[in-house]
Structure 1
Amino acid sequence: MEKQFYAIIDIGSNTMRLVIYMQEKGGRLKEVENVKAVARLRTYLDNNQKLSNAGISKLISTLKSFQDVLAAYDVNSIICVATATIRQAKNNQQIKEKIEIETGLDIRILSEEEEAYYGYLAVVNSTSITTGITVDIGGGSTEVTYFENRELIASHSFPFGALTLKEFLSESIPTEQELVELKQFLTEQFRSLPWLINKDVPLVAIGGSARNLAQIDQNIKRYPLAGLHQYKMYDTDIQSISNYLTDLKTEDLPKVEGLSKDRADIIIPAIQVFHTLYQVIQADSFILSRKGLRDGVFFEQLSKDIGTTLFPNVLEDSIQELMNDYNLNPKQILHVQYLTRIVFNYLKDNGVMNLMKTDWELVKRASYLCHLGEYIDAESSAQHTFYLLANRTIDGLMHKERLMLALIASYKNKTVFKQFIGPYKDWFLKEERKKLRHLGALLKFTYCLDATKRQIVKELDITKKQRKLVITLYCSGDYTPEEYQAEKQKNHLEKIIKMDVDLHFVSMKK
């Protein structure tokens, strides 16, 4: 399938952004270009709520610079959307017409409802969160939505954003009184919506200010994993960063690691929005979504092909994308999965190992991506498998879940497992670490039963005789390579079940 490119231009109140996506191998859209311009169009609204000529000029010159970038791609379609500042500008129709004359671009001015809806759509189609509240703070508006079982229940757009809330502060670093007044204002605003109060669900944040908050937190904690999407924080984390920033001098604020210089003067008001909303909701956590309005618009476009705006299998689609990217063999994967299930069920049902249904989900998930690192280098497959899975965004998996997947799929031996889990040791209890190692060892053994990727081992029969596990492997064809690998790797299984394992390879009758 030929590469197909799609572009979206997002005209926000603070920043303007061009994002180009690529679609190939029949998969979902992948971002290949992301160009940002800090236009601060909000500051060009005059007393009559009209965008000034200087603002229009800034807008058009930025769009033309985006078109220079677009010229390097054979783009199938370009979608151009505008949010709060253009929506609120009383001369927005004249702006729309002038842009079309000057650039040929047709601007779609999103309503408050549409802006909130696209944020919700991005979250439910790129995370595993089924019930939650989203917040997207822009320069001139703040959108919140509430969804249950992935269905949108309520939404609202507040007519304030990071740039307008900045007016509460005399300087970038507020006084204590200014912070109190800002929080009081925000609390009153959020509590005016009964469906926001005491929900005890995740608060999912979208947009640049949320990304900066997460980046600052990761830098302070020296967070060992890469990626921001689905990064989790708590009330105390947000309060801690707020205290840290408000204790700085104004000139030191732009030097904070993880904070974009163009957001230095608006990050503190934005953080107050997140923290106040967290407290009104009584949220159970704060989760960042890197997928936002732009992605929501494209999810709607893609839905025309599948007939629903809600992708039914977020995680499965993301795993399939990985399988495509690294040329993994679906036939081999399903066969290894089948053999693994037989061994897993026997160990579980006969009390050989303490296994649960949730453990099977972990092993099954890892079996799709086992030894993915061979794509880069067979000799160091385990290292590449672990690094790729631990540090690549996988829609539908939180960071800890992603790490668990990486640890099981990359399992080589106990020593290497300890090296991999070392920086994350305090993420897990001792029993959890042991369970992950055992699941990895189990998958390591069953994976070698299809060493030549020919599906030679068709069936397994397992029995327990005294202190020994006897596995009979029924094969079609020459099973010598599989027998060699299985005998070599069976020690991984023996160590976790604390029993000897006898393997009997037999040819199936034709």
Structure 2
Amino acid sequence: MILNKMPAFNKVSIGAAAVLTLVFTSQSVIAKLERRMSIEVDANTVRFAIADVNNNTDKVYRYLDYGSLDAGFYNDLAASDNRFFSSCMFKKAQNLFQKLRTRQEHFKAIKVRAIATDTFREAHNAEELVQKIRRTTGIDIRILSLEEEDRMDFFSALNATDNSEAPVVWDIGKERFQLIIADPEVGPFAHKGEFGSVNFMEYLKEVVQNKPAKLSGSLSPISTEELDAAISFAKYLARRTPSIIRRELKKEKVQITAIGSVFQESIAVDVTMNGKLLNKGILKKYIQEQLQTTNKTNDLSLSNAILVLGFMEELDIKRLNISDHNSTLGMLEFPILWH
């Protein structure tokens, strides 16, 4: 029987083969990349992100830029009696998007997608503003319907869970909150509530403390009785959570991921001091420190901590992780926007 002689490989030939493989692989990846810029018009800010994305898989290869600009769309609309953006808002918006256009050109992003949601849906002259921005900057803002916004929220939120077996996403913004799950039988499911950080704090001031809601710095000092009433109201809001989500929260391997402005811009900054892990002990310690301080407290962060603590106690949430991921980054990988 004749045996075929195996070819002899030395370190040099193996190294050369590895280099060639790496070169061809890198060229293959780079050939599929396109530079994208996502722009999300939020209530009072405009967030943006730029990344190189694999056009075949819609997965980010590398992030290049991320940031936000103060806009004030919600405040401008709230000050209007007829739900129209003011002429000053028109000028400010055009200047903001001109800055974004400059940023796009600097990074040479070849595709740009801009979206707006509830604030623009409510404004009677939002389409007129969209047209002006399109004419002056070339950036086309797409006003999402509620259904389109939900689909993007599902995609973006569940992308933040690191493929957990039992993912639950908890999102709290300025005006509303939502709990999102990916049930294997019914698919993505969301429970939404109309209370967020702003109206919860207004409730505490107006109803619990009987103070003018718009008065800055008026939440503290807060008595023990007022704190108990505030936590009770947060528990009441959480009590409406449907059983399908409660079942997910009770699973042994549940992973709760927190996103949204309350967690990412308030709790993570003032309560956990940029830490990602949050539990009830951390919240209680922060609240007590705020109640006992003689310095001026951060009304919004204190109110947010009370809101989150009430939910965690009512739903028996022991811990959660605050994610860096948000919908602006999620937009970069959302196929419907790009294809």
Same fold per superposition (TM over 0.5)? yes
Alignment match, 1:203: 256
Unaligned runs of 5+ residues in structure 2 are 1-29, 206-212
* Alignment match of 1:8 (pick from 21, 24, 38): 38
Alignment match, 1:40: 72
In 2 relative to 1, CA 289–119 (structure 1 residues): closer, same or farther, beyond 3 Å? farther
Alignment match, 1:328: none
1:64 aligns with 2:98: yes
Q: Partners of 1:208 and 1:79 in 2: how far apart?
A: 22
Q: Which amino acid in the other structure matches residue 73 of structure 1?
A: F
In 2 relative to 1, CA 164–301 (structure 1 residues): closer, same or farther, beyond 3 Å? same
In 2 relative to 1, CA 244–29 (structure 1 residues): closer, same or farther, beyond 3 Å? farther
After superposition, residues 372-387 of structure 1 pair within 5 angstroms as none
Asked if the contact 2:279–2:318 (Cα under 8 Å) also holds between the matched residues in 1, the reply is: yes
In 2 relative to 1, CA 101–28 (structure 1 residues): closer, same or farther, beyond 3 Å? closer
Alignment match, 2:122: 88
Q: Partners of 1:54 and 1:265 in 2: how far apart?
A: 29
Which has the greater radius of gyration? Answer: 1
Alignment match, 2:143: 109
Give me the CA root mean square deviation: 3.3
Asked if the contact 2:331–2:337 (Cα under 8 Å) also holds between the matched residues in 1, the reply is: no
Asked if the contact 2:53–2:332 (Cα under 8 Å) also holds between the matched residues in 1, the reply is: no
Counterpart secondary structure, 1:101: helix
Q: Which amino acid in the other structure matches residue 72 of structure 2?
A: R
* Alignment match of 1:288 (pick from 322, 328, 331): 322
Q: Partners of 1:269 and 1:58 in 2: how far apart?
A: 31
Alignment match, 2:170: 135
1:232 aligns with 2:277: yes
Q: Partners of 2:131 and 2:322 in 1: how far apart?
A: 36
In 2 relative to 1, CA 268–290 (structure 1 residues): closer, same or farther, beyond 3 Å? same
User: How many angstroms does 1:63 deviate by?
Assistant: 1.8
Asked if the contact 2:170–2:258 (Cα under 8 Å) also holds between the matched residues in 1, the reply is: yes
* Alignment match of 2:288 (pick from 243, 247, 260): 243
Counterpart secondary structure, 1:62: helix
Q: Partners of 2:150 and 2:289 in 1: how far apart?
A: 31
Deviations 1:288-343 (A, max 9, x none): 121121233333228989xxxxxxxxxxxxxxxxxxxxxxxxxxxxxxxxxxxxxx
Alignment match, 1:374: none
Deviations 1:8-61 (A, max 9, x none): 111111322111112379863422111212323221122333333333333332
Q: Which has the higher contact order (CA 8 A, sep 6+)?
A: 2
Q: Partners of 1:159 and 1:109 in 2: how far apart?
A: 20
After superposition, residues 343-492 of structure 1 pair within 5 angstroms as none
Asked if the contact 1:134–1:203 (Cα under 8 Å) also holds between the matched residues in 2, the reply is: yes
Q: Partners of 1:59 and 1:213 in 2: how far apart?
A: 29
After superposition, residues 254-333 of structure 1 pair within 5 angstroms as 266-301=300-335
User: How many angstroms does 1:7 deviate by?
Assistant: 0.5
Deviations 1:165-220 (A, max 9, x none): 3423344444346655554444333333424447334432112331242344554x
Alignment match, 2:239: 191
**Aligned residues between the structures:** 285
In 2 relative to 1, CA 54–137 (structure 1 residues): closer, same or farther, beyond 3 Å? farther
Alignment match, 2:51: 21
In 2 relative to 1, CA 24–133 (structure 1 residues): closer, same or farther, beyond 3 Å? closer
Q: Partners of 2:338 and 2:140 in 1: how far apart?
A: 21
Superposition TM-score, scaled by structure 2 size:
0.70
In 2 relative to 1, CA 178–109 (structure 1 residues): closer, same or farther, beyond 3 Å? farther
Q: Partners of 1:11 and 1:272 in 2: how far apart?
A: 28
Q: Which amino acid in the other structure matches residue 28 of structure 1?
A: V
Superposition TM-score, scaled by structure 1 size:
0.49
Asked if the contact 2:39–2:49 (Cα under 8 Å) also holds between the matched residues in 1, the reply is: yes
Q: Percent identity?
A: 18
Alignment match, 2:13: none
In 2 relative to 1, CA 156–60 (structure 1 residues): closer, same or farther, beyond 3 Å? farther
In 2 relative to 1, CA 181–217 (structure 1 residues): closer, same or farther, beyond 3 Å? closer
Asked if the contact 2:40–2:46 (Cα under 8 Å) also holds between the matched residues in 1, the reply is: yes
Q: Which amino acid in the other structure matches residue 162 of structure 1?
A: S
Asked if the contact 1:203–1:278 (Cα under 8 Å) also holds between the matched residues in 2, the reply is: no
In 2 relative to 1, CA 217–181 (structure 1 residues): closer, same or farther, beyond 3 Å? closer
Alignment match, 2:267: 213
Q: Which amino acid in the other structure matches residue 189 of structure 1?
A: L
In 2 relative to 1, CA 89–303 (structure 1 residues): closer, same or farther, beyond 3 Å? closer
Asked if the contact 2:157–2:327 (Cα under 8 Å) also holds between the matched residues in 1, the reply is: no
Asked if the contact 1:84–1:141 (Cα under 8 Å) also holds between the matched residues in 2, the reply is: no
Deviations 1:344-400 (A, max 9, x none): xxxxxxxxxxxxxxxxxxxxxxxxxxxxxxxxxxxxxxxxxxxxxxxxxxxxxxxxx
Asked if the contact 2:71–2:93 (Cα under 8 Å) also holds between the matched residues in 1, the reply is: yes
* Alignment match of 2:197 (pick from 159, 162, 166): 162
Deviations 1:269-289 (A, max 9, x none): 333332233233222421112
* Alignment match of 2:85 (pick from 41, 51, 68): 51
